[in-house]
Chain A
Amino acid sequence: MEGFRFKRSFRPLERTIELMLLLAASVAIIVSIAIIYTLMDGTVAFFSAPDVNIFEFLFGTKWVPSGSDPSFGILPLLSGTILIAGGALLIAMPLGIGAAIYLSEFASPRVRGILKPIIEVLAGIPSIVYGFFALLVISPIFRDLFGASYFNAASAIVVLAIMILPIVVSISDDAMKAVPRNLREASYAMGATKWETATKVVLPSASSGVIASVLLGLGRAIGETMVVTLAAGRVANLTFNPTEEVQTMTAYIAQVATGDIPPGVAVDAAFAVGMVLFIMTYIINIFAGIVVDRIKAGKRMKRTGLTGGLVKVIGAPGRVLSKINIGAGLKKGAGSLRRRYRIGIFGISMTGSSLVIAIGFLAYLVHYILTQGLSGIDQAFLSEIPHYIPDKAGIYPVILGSVYLMLLTLVISVPIGVGAAIYLTEIAPDSRHTRFLRRIIQNLAGVPSIVFGLVGLTIFVRLFDFGISLLAGSMTLSIMVLPIIVVSTEEALKAVPKSFRDAALALGATRWTTIRHHVLPNAIPGIMTGSILAMSRAIGETAPILFIGSVFAKVPPSGIMDPFLALPLTIFYWTTHPKAEFHELAASTIIVLLVILLTMNSVAIVIRNRVQAKRDW
């Protein structure tokens, strides 16, 4: 008998690395706990104030945070939120689903290749830019046409609808594209027109994806801060009249952040409002998650087992078609066929025109900003400091502040996000706690950005005592962009063929060696693209750093503990400035921000295309 062979070696390096990756993945849990701690802490402080009680908070109809007789009834904030988010959804739903039908069913590949990126551009524009546009362009239209007040819900609704449009379009489009061809063919074979097939077969079959897209859009609309803060106003009105001024939950928190609220119970109230906001968006996102998971599970089921798959594939068109009474239209004979075609042509032009609306909006936004801001951009503007005299004002320290903020965010968030993704896909795929972690991360992605602002204030500024510093700002942005980095890295890792891993493992490589030499190098371009997109999100965000950025930072930060000012914050301050000259400065700043974003996105696209051209697997 020979001795025992192939003894397990200890491999301390390997263990250490796996432990670190687990820690990175656990950051998502820590962040979730930090959010709940922050909101609980402030909420408890709020309700322990002498003249506050939970009944009045939940059912009171007056929200008057300051003054001699403060009152904290959340209903006006809720009605404002529902009016704006609901209104935006009412516009975005038909437009978005229509656009998705057109893109998925009727657009030629070439047209689709042009239109889809334009819709994606809408998603990449920072919300502060939409807010600027809502207040200075859309709001005056409602004032002139309907006698709306200076701040009004309607302008926020319209702009918010365009903002959430990309979410509805891209997820609905994906769902419709995923509907199997044989369903469409079955419908054509029964004599249905293209339009009938699209609306009566494809759309119902993709309904769960469409529902998910609408839910995610709603979550985004409820959580959006800057548009409503700038355009809808600062007075909590219990009204559903869109021409009036209203305040949403997010806008109240932003009002606290910008210092219009006296310290004390009114500030604590922001945390209670944040709690309600967090719970609402969390529930919506959980529902959306369940719908999305169900779609994914359904697809998996169809793939398992040849026979089972065949039954499903053959059975599916029949089941869908039996529900949909296409035959009814056919019975009416040849005369109605012309009518059916006319309906189709009308429908196709309607869905196509929803895309035209979106593109027209984008074109006018870009045109307006360029005409307002381009003339203001000169050497002085880029090299001077912010000044109270518009002619002398520049944004030099602001650009540097934003760049430093982004770089520090990169340094903090990318290692953690990439580590977490490696842990989730490579070290512990598909175990119960991985699924739990993944769900936590998905839900973090849906948390409104202003809630991260509250967390940053409570945890980084106060608890860690970083003060209003670059470090506190970067950490706040880091926890916000973490889910983006994790998800994109996971996708990049999953795209590396399993055969590379098998080959390395079969040669006796350890798990970490396999990841280090054969998985990561092949995933680097994808990780880089995802990280750049996450950083462009970070540099464009306003709400999370409203609490932390400092108006008084007139010099670029020279260390991580220094105060800073960022481009979106400057746009915010200048847009709200009473003097119109500052609005032009805001437009100039927007151009600078958009140029930075455009550059970053171009780099991401170049990396992606280069690698796709070079890739031989």
Chain B
Amino acid sequence: MLKNEWRHFKRNRDLFVMSLPAIVYKLFLNYLPMIGLIIAFKQYRYDLGVFGSEWVGLKNFEFFFSSDTAFIVTRNTILYNLAFIVLTMVIALTFAILLNEISRKWIKVHQTVLFLPYFLSWVVVGYVVLAFLDHKNGFLNVILGMFGEEAIKWYEQAKYWPVIIIITQLWKSVGFSTLIYYAGLLSIDSSYYEAAKIDGANRWDMIRKITIPLLTPLIVILFIVDIGKIFRADFGLFYFIPNDSSFLYSTTDVIDTYVYRSLRVVGDIGMSTAIGLYQSVVGFIMVLLANWIVKKINSDNALW
């Protein structure tokens, strides 16, 4: 048996050597850190290290889950992600279908413009948002001033932020998603539309009966991927856009920003790891669940 396997190995030796860099890389950057998750059950001390530190059972989890913050950051993370998933899908799909109706040379122009914000980093987008929302000089307050309204301290009023965050996210990413759907649209065989045309179908019929069904696999794949990430927030969006303003935490703090602050500002290693573990486990379950549901409905669309 073993000898047999050795013979196989020798035949695959060169290819194995080729995959070696990836094996080592993933080992150090992904798999060994998973062992580090035991810190979640420890009182971590730098001098004692991962293995030397003292076990404390579930204390780190208790500390996090007994605070109000656990609920707030989890709620914010999920609600924002759900809003992003639904809005991006609906808007990008609509844009893609509408784009398909206009002449080629204009498509290119619109695509490029909608895609433009995607190339900005969140730091730069932070500047853009500041240009609008700055208390003293911001563009929005200038406009409010023109109408004789009082200037608003945007960076201190949590209630406005769900809208601000969602608009910012859509502005930055909707062009990219539109492009994905549009590329999917282009790959649909035009003979379907010709046949439908002969049968007297109008445009709306074609969109409903041909375009949407044929795009469904793509929509589903993107959906599963997004659901799998529903416990992971885009750190840059929630850190740079509200400028880490503590007035806004009730509506802008998400799991990722909370973990970052616990690690870099507070220095609570044990609890940050515990939250990370919670995030990973729930995220993992979400992907499996999403894929399982899709499989139940239509096994062709499942990711695996």
Pairing of A with B: no
Interface residues of B (CB under 8 A from A): none
